[in-house]
A and B are shown apart, each in its own frame.
Chain A
Amino acid sequence: MTDTQWPRYEVFVQERPGRPHQHAGSVHAPDPEMALLNARDVFVRRPECAGLWVAPATAVHGGSAEELPQLLAAPRSQGGSPSNEYLVFAKLEERGTLTHVGEVRAAGREAALAAAQEAAGNRPPLALWVIPAERVERSLPEEAASMFDPSRHKPFRNQAFYHIQTALQRLRRDPSLIANRQSPEARR
């Protein structure tokens, strides 16, 4: 039996309720439930997070602005209901990341990508992804407390918890606080 690091799942984080989910990275996991749990442990060590989505990397269709013309010119796969829902993620700014911008309905992924491109209008995205809604595993509202609250109660992960400047200043003002203080010249 081969050894793998398990498949990749792309991770989308919603920082606050009402804000769109944004691509944060990916996790390796054997299945969607483990992917959601792994995403929480990897990406929600610190606030803020109100919602989490994961989707298998293989379910993502799309790419960068350079790749889109070729992807859109590709032949469409046959079959599929025209009303399948796809989530659309677009990168709109150089310093931004792929962000959830809405949904389209289409019969297949190529058609979905075309519909998403069209919906972007005169704001051509720098990168565009479509993912079948049914392939996206989402954190549920009733789980939010146990999934997301604990990260708020770990202040020691925040640099503001350590008052280093104050402590160093105090030592400069009162070097006698240092045990067995000798001048640097004497020690050499």
Chain B
Amino acid sequence: MRPDLRPLLADALLGLADDEMILAHRDSEWTGHAPILEEDIAFANIALDEMGHAGIWYRLVAELRGEEPDTYPDRLVFHRAPDEFRCIRMVELPKGDWAFTIVRQFLFDSAEIVRLQALGQSHHPPLAKAAAKIAIEERYHDRHLRAWVRRLGLGTEESHGKMQAALDQLWPYTGQLFEPPSSEGELVAAGSFPASEAMAAAWVEGAAATLADAGLRTQAGQPGINGGRLQHTEHLEPLLAELQSVARLEPQASW
């Protein structure tokens, strides 16, 4: 791969890694508190898978930046300041109620499936390979989440109300899912990274259809998000304070 493109691709992948890591962190907050035992187990599986995916993306970032793949990911996760994280704002939001968690997970994972399919065509072989591997696990998440979205959307008036409220709250954040990285033009031209606009269109159509089947209304269009991936909600700082608290007790130590 062209040397000048490596840092651009690394930044783009760091965004994906941070998305997975922060969302996994939110998902893991449900362990021991889910609505029924089977879902404690199922949702922990989703969190585990996502942490695994974060690890895969972080390792790719390490390789692109010439860093040690075994130790660099922990440095990225546990020793960066909030304004150095590249996650989208949607994943930072507190976990909310079960409807909020399910809707957010569905919106994120359905977008990820579209993205992974496109990334599988990347001319950067490690990236194409990683995407193919992750896609296998995401197919299962997709099946699980579609089942939940449908059942909660159509179940009772109460569940429908909560799902619609969650969707109304979350939809404005979805514009960031396929916001093009600043370097997109060059990465796309080199075949390393897919074009965002096409992915966004494919995703909106599919997601809106699934939601509609579940009796849920999506707003027309998605508001633009200002500031890009380096700007965050007020939730990220306390989240990272917690996430990094033990590691930062002894910053040079091994745990």
Contacts and interface: CB of A to CB of B under 8 A. Distances in A.
Are A and B direct contacts in the complex by CB distance below 8 Å? yes
Interface string A12-34: 00000000000000011110011
A1 B155 CA distance: 13
A33 B151 CA distance: 11
Interface in B130-163: 133, 136-137, 139-140, 143-144, 147, 151, 156
B41 A41 contact: yes
Instruction: Say whether chain B's binding surface is mostly helix, strand, loop, or mixed.
Output: helix
B1 interface: no
B37 A28 contact: yes
A42 B41 contact: yes
Given A145-B136, A150-B49, A154-B48, A28 B38 contact: yes
A161 interface: no
B136 A146 contact: yes
Given A42-B41, A146-B136, A154-B48, A37 B36 contact: no
Given A6-B36, A33-B147, A38 B42 contact: yes
Given A30-B151, A37-B144, A146-B136, A153 B38 contact: no
A147 interface: yes
A27 B136 contact: no
B136 A29 contact: no
B52 interface: yes
Contact of B147 (A34, A146, A154): A34
B140 A147 contact: yes
B31 interface: no
Contacts of B48: 154
A149 interface: yes
A150 to B, nearest CB: 5
Contacts, number: 45
A38 B144 CA distance: 9
Interface residues of B, number: 19
A146 B36 contact: no
Given A6-B36, A154-B48, A146 B42 contact: no
A150 B37 contact: no
A87 B190 CA distance: 56
A122 interface: no
Contacts of B143: 37, 143, 146
Contacts of B133: 153
A32 to B, nearest CB: 11
A143 B140 CA distance: 9
Contact of A153 (B37, B52, B151): B52
A153 B136 CA distance: 11
8 contacts: A27-B38, A29-B38, A34-B151, A40-B140, A41-B38, A41-B42, A146-B140, A150-B136
Given A1-B156, A34-B147, A42-B41, 6 more contacts: A29-B38, A30-B151, A41-B38, A45-B45, A150-B49, A150-B140
